[in-house]
Amino acid sequence: MNERSLLQNREYVEALERSLKNCKKEVLIVSAYLRSEILVWAKEIIPKNVIVNIVTRWTLQDLLFGASDIQAYELARSEKWGFYIDQDLHAKSVLVDAEMLFLGSANFTSRGTHLFGFGNNELGIQVLASKDEADKIKKYVTNSYKLTMPMYIEMKRYLESPDKSKERESVSWPADIETCISPLVDKLWIDECFHSSPNEFFSDMNSLEIEHDRLMFASNKPSLKLIKQTKMMKWLDHIINDSNKEIITFGYISKRLHDAIVTDPKPYRKDVKEFVKCLLSWVRYFKVYELISFKHTIAVRCYRY
């Protein structure tokens, strides 16, 4: 194969089929719209020992209009494939063995892929992905909500309820479902961690760490609201809620962060501790949580100011 191939309509699914048949380890499917008929096709092609994860949008509107269907989850679950929801998703890509990347306009549906010989006019590209590019695609999994069977039952029950008096142009999941499918931040990439302290960030210094945080914040003057929206602060919220402890120590946070980082290879413990130091310095600066100082360590009291 050339380093890059431009694919149109049926060419896309033919090239994808060849790649899936030769897959050795993992497949990641990212598609705003997702239909079960294409998953039926995929399960017959992908070798049984391969790990498969799917990220799709699954808004209520998508399911009501048939752009996606609820049977897709049932099939994925039967194959023990991971199924994730990101309601802001618009991307369409398939990553095979963290190397072969299919990227373009085609959703993972029969019409998007011309599975049955007809469909939308689509354009895509097949390219060998670098490690950094593969990691970017993998972030769609860590940034999404993993659909569970209880939540699927609730969503299906709502879809099948007789009350269809909603405005179809503005439909959304009811609040109790919407709240639950908000992504839980329990995994982080190194570039989602704070690399500098507020004292460093707001100084006249220049460093790669400060530049990293400026790009992450997209601001030279981050506010409390912006800090709370960062992945690392949401991760801290998660481990505090998950701990059921009155206080959590620096050592506990460091261990949880080391376990949570999905960047390969993982950073050394000393580097993880530096990320935690930066995180807690932002916590102190904006008074997100109360910090308690001990002789040789520091801890977070598990309630907000």
The percent of residues in the chain predicted with pLDDT above 90, rounded, is 67
Q: How far apart are CA 200 and CA 209, in angstroms?
A: 9
Q: For residues 57 and 91, give the distance between their C-alpha atoms in angstroms, rounded to a whole number.
A: 9
State the burial class of residue 31 (Cβ atoms within 10 Å of its Cβ: 0-12, 13-18, 19+): buried
**Tokens, residue 159:** 């879809």
Residue whose C-alpha is closest to residue 270's, from 254, 281, 282, 291:
254
β-strand pairing of 4-8 with 289-293: unpaired
Structure confidence at residue 169 (pLDDT): 44
Instruction: For residue range 16-32, list pLDDT tens digits in order.
Output: 999 999 999 999 999 99
Encoded amino acid at 214, one letter: R
Contact 230/236 with Cβ under 8 angstroms? no
pLDDT of amino acid 31? 96
pLDDT at 245: 85
4-180, superfamily in CATH?
A: Endonuclease Chain A (3.30.870.10)
**Residue 305: its pLDDT value, please?**
52
How far apart, in Å, are the Cα atoms of 148 and each of 18, 161, 262?
Answer: 31, 20, 21
Task: For the chain, list the strands marked E by DSSP.
Answer: 4-8, 26-31, 51-56, 82-85, 92-96, 100-104, 123-128, 145-146, 247-249, 289-293, 298-304
Selecting from 3.30.70, 1.10.10, 3.90.920, 1.20.80, what CATH number does the domain 190-304 have?
1.10.10
What pLDDT sits at residue 247?
92
**Domain extents for the chain?**
4-180, 190-304
Task: Give the chain's residues under pLDDT 50.
Answer: 166-170
Tokens of 293: 């100082």
> Cβ distance 31 to 66 under 8 Å?
no
Residue where the block lists tokens 């909500």: 145
Are the CB atoms for 34 and 108 separated by under 8 Å? yes
Contact call for residues 15 and 5 (beta carbons, < 8 A): yes
**In this structure, which amino acid lies at residue 183?**
P
Q: What is the pLDDT of residues 25-57, one digit of tens each?
A: 999 999 999 999 999 999 999 999 999 999 999
What pLDDT does 218 receive? 84
